Amino acid sequence: MNTQLNDAKVRLRQHVRERLEALTFADRAAASARLCAGLPQQRVWREAQTILLFFPLPDEPDIGPLLDAVLSAGKALALPRYSNTGQKYEAAAVKDLGADLVSGQFGIREPGVSCPQIPLNRLDLVLVPGVAFDARGRRLGRGKGFYDRLLTAASGTKCGVAFDEQIVDAVPVGPLDVTVNCILTPTRWMET
């Protein structure tokens, strides 16, 4: 990656992190609840049968209720699981949130080894975390490229999930950065 692009990404990550740090715990909880209530209203959610979610980090919207919602609706739930063999993320099926999850490679909850892998081309909907998004669907991740590699192989609708404070005018991107089809925040649904 060229130095200028890398520097722009580092500056944007810092800017967005500062905006997120201004949110109180109560603000985050209320915003997360609104976001989770908004997704089931979307056609892409209602039509999806196999959905890849993610286990949120503390600075990401808490989409925990959506994990339960997928299972309650009788849809197939998948979560990312890090593969040491391929040094990448894969999708794995989860049927029991209490029994199937373990602490993964990076301390993130993920499906255990007993959970079957789901081919990425069988996903109908992929919820995508990120540090920042823009209206054109460009996404700024944490800088390791793990999600970009997963998204390159994933089919279905790719939906960014973010607090409103994470929506910016423009995200700097390089040739390996993957865009999303839509973005869900606590206050809006954006088709990109």
Q: With residue 12 as reference, give the H or E element that holds it.
A: helix 3-21
> What mean pLDDT do residues 94-122 have?
92
pLDDT of residue 1: 55
Task: Give the model confidence (pLDDT) of 149-162 as tens digits.
Answer: 899 989 899 999 99
Task: Give percent of the chain above pLDDT 70.
Answer: 99
Q: Residue 47's closest CA among 35, 37, 39? A: 39
pTM for the model stands at 0.93
Burial classification of residue 46, based on how many CB atoms lie within 10 Å of its CB (0-12 exposed, 13-18 middle, 19 or more buried): exposed
Cβ count near 29 (within 10 Å): 13
Residue 137: CA count within 13 A, CB half-sphere:
14
Per-residue model confidence (pLDDT) at position 107: 84
Which residue, among 98, 112, 42, has the nearest Cα to 67 in the 3D structure?
Answer: 98
Residue 16 resides in a domain: yes
* pLDDT at 117 exceeding the cut of 90: yes
pLDDT tens digits for range 45-81: 999 999 999 999 889 999 999 999 999 999 999 999 9
The proportion of the chain whose per-residue pLDDT surpasses 90, expressed as a percent, equals 83
* Residue 192 forms part of a structural domain: no
CATH value at residue 32: 3.40.50.10420
pLDDT digits (tens, 9 = 90+) for 82-95: 987 877 899 999 99
Q: What is the structure's pLDDT at 147? A: 87
pLDDT of residue 108: 87
Residue 37 placed within a domain? yes
Query: What does the DSSP assignment read for 70-91?
Result: HHHTTPEEEEEEEETTTTEEEE
Look at residue 81 and tell me if it is in a domain: yes
**Residue 153 backbone phi and psi in degrees, to 5:** -90, -15
Could you list the residue range(s) of the whole structural domain that residue 117 is in? 3-187
CB contact at 8 A, 143 and 6: no
Cα–Cα distance for residue pair 41/129, rounded to 1 Å: 20
How many domains does the chain divide into?
Answer: 1
Look at residue 26 and tell me if it is in a domain. yes
